[in-house]
């Protein structure tokens, strides 16, 4: 039986990519992991959010914070090289988990019909929101010498038509397919790969989606649990997937959305 309760993941090292501020889902995940005794590694996208992420990281003892822009191969390569060297220098045996909580599309591309998406806008959304998981998995796997888990964040718009989600729905469909292929490829090394499909939550990224508040209202009225998703619920599910308690789950998409996805008409 796996250990349960506080400190279930004590001694593990998990990389969390995608904190921009305290509303980020990655922050809620980091909080849940810190409660389980995880030693955290955080990355931030650029100078604009550096200070905020460093301040948030300072809440947890021993947190390492690095820059990493996933749209730049050199930035990803340099980050993982530094991380590998720093973990080795600190005598950490391995990286045990990775949280990929990153997405981006031009606001205009979220507002226009998919049919009007430009080639460049499509490429950007798919590059940052989907290809980045491939690149991260490629560099992270060699550091996960004792196995572990990778978790990414997706949304119902990957498989259903959600108003104003448009090109991001296509990016999430690609991301969910990647989860299955990566799970198959990395499974023999003891590395599990899963996605959490979160219900709508008010974050900086969500605000780019037109009429987001009306989506929140709709979910609160219709979802089986009659409320919107709490970021802490996403955090706890990520902690489960990254811990030994989730050891039998890979290649899957787990919904944390108050049950909204089960509804038909
Ligand atoms: P957020 O804006 O707080 O997080 C998005 C993160 O992506 C930011 O930290 C940003 O810096 C990072 N990012 C963007 N481009 C990057 C780049 N080039 N390099 C590195 N980092 C980059 O918003 P969030 O809602 O917490 O989003 C996190 C994940 O959750 C995303 O994948 C999003 O699609 C997914 N998600 C969100 C919701 C929701 O309703 N908020 C629902 C389902 C899934």
Which pLDDT value is given to residue 265? 87
What contacts 247, CB < 8 A, 6 or more positions away? 2, 192
Q: How many whole angstroms separate alpha carbon 249 and alpha carbon 242?
A: 10
Residues found in the chain: 265
Residue from 27, 44, 155, 260 carrying the catalytic annotation: 155
Residue 221's CB: how many other CB atoms inside 10 A? 9
Residue with structure tokens 């989730």?
246
Which pLDDT value is given to residue 7? 80
> Rounded to an integer, what is the distance from CA 72 to the centroid of its chain?
18
Query: Which DSSP string do the residues of 151-205 spell out, in sequence order?
Result: EEEE-GGGTS--TTTHHHHHHHHHHHHHHHHHHHHHGGGTEEEEEEEEPP---TT
The response to whether residue 45 sits with its C-beta less than 6 Å from ligand 1 reads yes
Q: CATH for 13-255, among 1.10.760.10, 3.30.70.1890, 3.40.50.720, 3.40.50.2300?
A: 3.40.50.720
Residue from 27, 66, 165, 260 carrying the catalytic annotation: 165
Which pLDDT value is given to residue 8? 84
Between the CA of 138 and the centroid of ligand 1 the distance, in Å, is 20
- Ranges of each domain in the chain: 13-255
Please report, in tens digits, the pLDDT of each residue of the chain (265 residues total): 444 445 889 999 999 999 999 999 999 999 999 999 999 999 999 999 999 999 999 999 999 999 999 999 999 999 999 999 999 999 988 999 999 999 999 999 999 999 999 999 999 999 999 999 999 999 999 999 999 999 999 999 999 999 999 999 999 999 999 999 999 999 999 999 999 999 999 999 998 888 999 999 999 999 999 999 999 999 999 999 999 999 999 999 999 999 999 999 8
Q: Is 155 in the active site?
A: yes
Between the CA of 38 and the centroid of ligand 1 the distance, in Å, is 22
Which pLDDT value is given to residue 210? 87
Query: Which DSSP string do the residues of the chain spell out, in sequence order?
Result: ----STTTTTT-EEEEE--SSTTSHHHHHHHHHHHTTPEEEEEESSHHHHHHHHHHHTTSTT-EEEE--TT-HHHHHHHHHHHHHHHHHTT-----EEEE------HHHHHS-GGG--HHHHHHHHIIIIIHHHHHHHHHGGG-BTBEEEEEEE-GGGTS--TTTHHHHHHHHHHHHHHHHHHHHHGGGTEEEEEEEEPP---TTGGGSTTHHHHHHHHHHHSTTSSPPPHHHHHHHHHHHHSGGGTT--S-EEEESTTGGG---
* Closest C-alpha residue for ligand 1 atom 33: 103
The response to whether residue 75 sits with its C-beta less than 6 Å from ligand 1 reads no
Q: How many whole angstroms separate alpha carbon 75 and alpha carbon 167?
A: 25
Q: Is 139 in the active site?
A: no
């Amino acid at each position: 039986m796996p250990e349960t309760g506080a400190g279930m993941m004590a001694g593990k090292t998990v990389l969390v990519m995608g904190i921009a501020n305290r509303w980020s889902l990655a922050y809620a995940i980091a909080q849940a992991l810190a409660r389980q005794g995880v030693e955290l590694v955080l990355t931030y996208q650029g100078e604009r959010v550096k200070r905020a992420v460093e301040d948030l990281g300072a809440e947890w003892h021993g947190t390492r914070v690095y820059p990493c822009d996933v749209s730049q191969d050199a930035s990803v390569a340099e980050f993982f090289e530094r991380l590998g060297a720093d973990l080795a220098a600190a005598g950490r045996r391995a990286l045990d988990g990775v949280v990929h909580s990153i997405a981006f599309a031009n606001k205009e591309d979220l507002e226009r019909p998919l049919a009007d998406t430009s080639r460049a806008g499509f490429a950007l959304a798919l590059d940052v929101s989907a290809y980045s998981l491939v690149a991260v998995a490629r560099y992270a796997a060699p550091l996960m010498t004792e196995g572990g888990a990778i978790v990414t964040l997706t949304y119902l718009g990957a498989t259903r038509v959600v108003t104003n989600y448009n090109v991001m729905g296509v990016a999430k469909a690609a991301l969910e397919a990647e989860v299955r292929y990566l799970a198959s490829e990395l499974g023999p090394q003891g590395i599990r790969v899963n996605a959490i499909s979160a219900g709508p939550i008010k974050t900086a990224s969500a605000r780019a989606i037109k009429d987001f508040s009306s989506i929140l209202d709709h979910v609160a009225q219709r979802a089986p649990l009659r409320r919107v998703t709490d970021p802490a619920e996403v955090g706890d599910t990520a902690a489960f997937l990254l811990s030994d308690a989730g050891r039998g789950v890979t290649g899957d998409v787990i919904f944390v959305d108050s049950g909204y996805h089960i509804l038909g008409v």
